[in-house]
Amino acid sequence: MMTLRQEFVSLARQEAVNMSELCSRFGISRKTGYKWLARVEQEGAAGMADRSRRPLHTPLRASQTIEELVVALRQAHPSWGARKLRRRLLDLGHTDIPTPSTVTRILHRHGLIGEQASERSTPWQRFEHAAPNDLWQMDFKGYFETGRATCHPLTVIDDHSRYNVVLKACSRPNREQVQEALQDAFRRYGMPLRINTDNGAPWGSPSQHEHGITKLTIWLIQLGIRISHSRPAHPQTNGKDERFHRSLKAEVLAGRHFADLADAQTAFDRWRHVYNHERPHEALDLNTPVKRYQSSRLQYPEHLPEIHYPEGDLVQTVGWDGKIVMEGRRFKVSNALHTHRIAARPRLEQDGVYDLYFAHHRFGQIDLRMTESEA
């Protein structure tokens, strides 16, 4: 409950937020939402907790106290470097925190930093989208065994803010569990303009004969979301999510075992709050992701909207074998599109060539000038 309150307040304080919509997504009334905002304005972070909760910080009295704070925070977050530790202590309200170089010397003095730490913490260089929800990056973080089941962590990162939208302990890396997790995210945060995924199941791949069309991408396309895929053998295309995986491994998974999926999810939820609300991010000038994230204005529709195609398109329903018929010839498009209506849109500059569309998504091409053996 504490985590949900903090997340709600952080999002509610963003500019131009729709308070009614945000309260609805968190399942609370507007009165309750404004109550928590008022408490935070009056009391800070302590206003979201029980009245008996102690303050989050105490004034520093001596350099020994500062050193103890640095050591304690490093032990709580072993993969955080000096800049993150210093920024987090300042965010907690402590004063007279030394420079990052001094923090580094404290870590060395207590044996809390290794020789390879600087090399491992070298930041990746990457492009950044201009606004929250312009692009979400999505993938599975491999898998690991718990005491009772295999866990496949599903992760979704907002490209602009690095805000972690989804961190779900899935039992299988399949469409059903991805779709369920995305539905929850869409209902809480709204929908992005585009989602980028890796190649392969359940995402699909443009290089395959199905043209990247799967049941999952069909559902996303029907929602109006644009779909893109990383280039094969180039995971850096989803670089922010890959970097998130490195942090997840170092700060949650390394050297740790879980009883079951629920145990793993509890650890994920706890760390997700730290990542979004507490952990300073190098690429964000040591701000936290929640300070740059805003909920999307695109609301999730509980019923899929009807698809309309422009006049001039040749529209037909895909057959059971994933094929359509044009000028008496059968062309394979996608088994996943069985029973769905697609459009063949003529290319004005190339007579006999048609681009294939499902809703807004161009997924293939038909060239009637080719012989059947060539096609």
Does residue 62 sit in helix, strand or coil? coil
Q: What is the number of other CB atoms lying within 10 angstroms of the CB of residue 117? A: 15
Contact (Cβ atoms closer than 8 angstroms) between residue 86 and residue 98: yes
Rounded to whole angstroms, the Cα distance separating 63 from 82 reads: 17
Contact (Cβ atoms closer than 8 angstroms) between residue 317 and residue 339: yes
DSSP 213-278: --HHHHHHHHTT-EEEEPPTT-GGGGHHHHHHHHHHIIIIITT---SSHHHHHHHHHHHHHHHHHT
Nearest to 259, CA basis, from 147, 372, 353: 147
Check residue 61 and give its pLDDT: 38
Q: In which residue ranges of the chain is pLDDT below 70? A: 1-2, 50-62, 114-128, 205-211, 232-237, 371-375
Check residue 182 and give its pLDDT: 98
- Opening angle at CA 136, ends 250 and 343, nearest 5: 145
- How do beta strands 226-229 and 194-197 pair? parallel
Residue 287: DSSP 8-state? B
Check residue 186 and give its pLDDT: 98
Contact (Cβ atoms closer than 8 angstroms) between residue 182 and residue 335: no
The yes/no answer on whether domain 2-48 falls in CATH 1.10.3470 is no
Contact (Cβ atoms closer than 8 angstroms) between residue 170 and residue 181: yes
pLDDT tens per residue across span 21-59: 988 888 889 898 888 888 888 888 777 775 544 444 444
pLDDT tens per residue across span 70-127: 888 888 888 888 888 989 999 998 888 888 888 888 888 777 875 445 444 444 445 6
Nearest to 293, CA basis, from 222, 344, 240: 240
Q: Which CATH code, of 3.40.50.300, 3.30.420.10, 3.40.50.150, 3.30.450.20, is assigned to 136-291?
A: 3.30.420.10
Residue type, 164: N
Nearest to 278, CA basis, from 290, 263, 268: 290
